[in-house]
A and B are shown apart, each in its own frame.
Chain A
Amino acid sequence: MTEEVESLIRKDYAAGFHSSIESETLPPGLNEDVIRFISAKKGEPEWLLEWRLKAFRSWQEMEEPTWAHVHYPEIDFQAVSYYSAPKSMDSKPKSLDEVDPELLATYEKLGIPLHEQEMLAGVAVDAVFDSVSVVTTFREKLLEAGVIFCPISEAVHKYPELIKQYLGSVVPQKDNFYAALNSAVFSDGSFVYIPKGVRCPMELSTYFRINEMNTGQFERTLIVADEGSYVSYLEGCTAPMRDENQLHAAVVELVALDNAQIKYSTVQNWYPGNAEGKGGIYNFVTKRGVAHTNAKISWTQVETGSAVTWKYPSCILKGDNSVGEFYSVALTNNFQQADTGTKMIHLGKNTRSTIVAKGISAGRSDSAYRGLVRINPGAEGGRNYTQCDSLLIGDRCGAHTFPYIESKNPSAVVEHEATTSKVSDDQLFLCQQRGLDAEKAVSMIVNGFCREVFKELPMEFAVEAGKLLEVSLEGSVG
């Protein structure tokens, strides 16, 4: 039966095509000149170049972290190209009509039409292709509400005060090895600002695509929700199938000022490598948000891709009564490895956090939940609830849980629950005896397992996420 389970999890990666688009790509290698080149390419002000160089100098003195429960050959950071952009973007197209049709076709193929009239109503998209943002839709409509949604490279010019104030305010340049690298070479990403009291009129989303070979993607996203505002944001990611591993080291910073709410959802489907474990994306990401008084930050992630994932979207609950949430589904198959979780840092009084993490391991994959809940001395009445569930498919995969709890205030209440279960032969047989085929049965069982997390996703994406799981699991039972 185990073999049956295993063979059900095999399926082609639908987003694995490569678009032939003429690109300007820097030769591999990293030094100060490369950073100056990137900065000049984007016409950045002097302060930002200095900011990058400072990060680079710190990075050179830092060590790659090795504490995560993942194994991969040492990365040669000099073999990676740090900038690649479609040539057609040089002329800076003013409207969609001027964008290279091949680029638009790429997104079309991925199911993300960029023509506004064809899009899901109510979702604005920033499309990032390798190192640059190709197009951002619905910008005018958003501006009417005072909402800024644009590539961060553009925000540097248009809204320098906001960028200066908030860039690096949540994830400092020297925060960790990959954050420092990102700070030095970040190429593009999205910037969002929601003014005071505004409820963003549509879902915002950024779609990241790595296309070029041997290119790293280092995007940087910054979302600032001013007092009393609300925004729901989603990111999606894919890459072509290649035998070489590719590096993705992003930084996301969220700032929720007093009474603001940010809901950040991720559907990550980077190329996971083939069934033998060759190729795939190394996904080393730093995501963190600061919640001020009465503010709320929710992270929801569905992670099915990447060869190696190292990612801990976190909340710093700085203001009194602030709330942090983390809902996660991490699915690993074949030879994928994931070490993911969250950090909830309680600083303010009566701060509350909820963690619901679901790990699904199939094939020979290995998945770990790593979470930190810290209640600082001043976090009077702090409260955390953590639930960690692992589901194993087959008998050659692994699931691990590393919870860290540090409570320094006696009035705090911290709860942790963990379970591990298997998709049992009995469950499969029940489904098949009722006429369902094995694949449908497994995906139904897995979807049931993930229910609590999926219900946190925006409607359209919950359906997507369900389908994605189905695809990722295909071939796991035969």
Chain B
Amino acid sequence: MMLNIKDLHAKVEEKDILKGLSIEVKPGEVHAIMGPNGSGKSTMGNVLSGRPGYEATAGSVTFKGHDLLEMETEERAREGLFLAFQYPVEIPGVSNMEFLKAAVDAKRKHQGLDEISSVDFLKLARETCKRVNLDASFLKRGVNEGFSGGEKKRNEIMQMMLLEPDLCILDETDSGLDIDALQVVADGVNAMRDGKRSFLVVTHYQRLLDYIVPDYVHVLAGGRIVKSGDKSLALELEAKGYGWLENEVV
């Protein structure tokens, strides 16, 4: 099992957001999480990745056999959990290159490997840039500094490729992207589907799922999963909206 979320409750600033969330994700699976605004989609990604301020109050989460909720934020990352941000922040003056190398080295150290040499890293980073259609000059620029919305998202996918995580959580990565950028992001994700790596794709729109075809679709409402199905569920939601599911929300 890659990820096993059981009856998870979580609160943010004293407000209960997740109220009994359960999902099982096996290696290689792609799960889409959909749901109306305020249903707890982003909270789920934040709780799983250990963002300060997001507190799990009950339930359990097992990640690759570890008790995820007991792990520090950075430990979760090093162990292979990756969150692609909806709104990546800027870190002025810190070059993308320096940042990415530090991230890759932190993971390598965790795995008992030596730091990657600067030469090897530069080569790897340049190749990865190409895969997401970013000019190599982005490596020299400050992290997300002055990037357009689409560039920030592609930069997230580039980081995901470099870090080769086991579980990728994409938090509304499609928001604000035009069709071309969406295609690049989807191609990046699809290229990383290797039968072992798992994905949680959080999205508001069915559109992204035309490009990243999920194995399962879950509807999150009121802090828990109210409906699960295969990819056809997404199309049904697209046609009918979320209203018809309201009866299922407790």
Contact = CB atoms under 8 A, between A and B. Distances in A.
* A-B complex is real: yes
B52 interface: yes
Contacts of B106: 434-437, 440
Given A436-B103, A444-B99, A444-B102, A449 B93 contact: yes
Interface in B79-120: 82-83, 85, 88-89, 91-95, 98-99, 102-103, 106-107, 110
Contacts of B187: none
B73 interface: yes
Contact of A435 (B85, B93, B163): B163
Contacts of B77: 432-435
B128 interface: no
A429 B50 CA distance: 9
Interface of B is mostly: mixed
Interface of A is mostly: helix
B94 A444 contact: yes
Nearest to B98: A444
A411 interface: no
B74 interface: yes
Contact of A432 (B73, B159, B163): B73
A18 interface: no
A427 interface: yes
B83 A433 contact: yes
Nearest to B93: A448
B134 to A, nearest CB: 17
Interface string A428-464: 0111111111101000110111111000000000000
22 contacts: A424-B89, A425-B52, A425-B53, A427-B91, A430-B89, A430-B91, A432-B73, A432-B74, A433-B50, A433-B85, A434-B103, A435-B107, A435-B110, A436-B74, A444-B91, A444-B98, A444-B99, A447-B93, A447-B94, A448-B91, A448-B95, A448-B142
Given A432-B50, A448-B91, A450-B93, 15 more contacts: A1-B52, A424-B89, A425-B52, A427-B89, A430-B85, A432-B72, A432-B77, A433-B74, A434-B159, A436-B102, A436-B103, A437-B74, A444-B94, A448-B92, A451-B93
Interface of B: 49-53, 72-74, 77-78, 82-83, 85, 88-89, 91-95, 98-99, 102-103, 106-107, 110, 142-143, 159, 163
Interface of A: 1, 4, 424-427, 429-438, 440, 444-445, 447-452
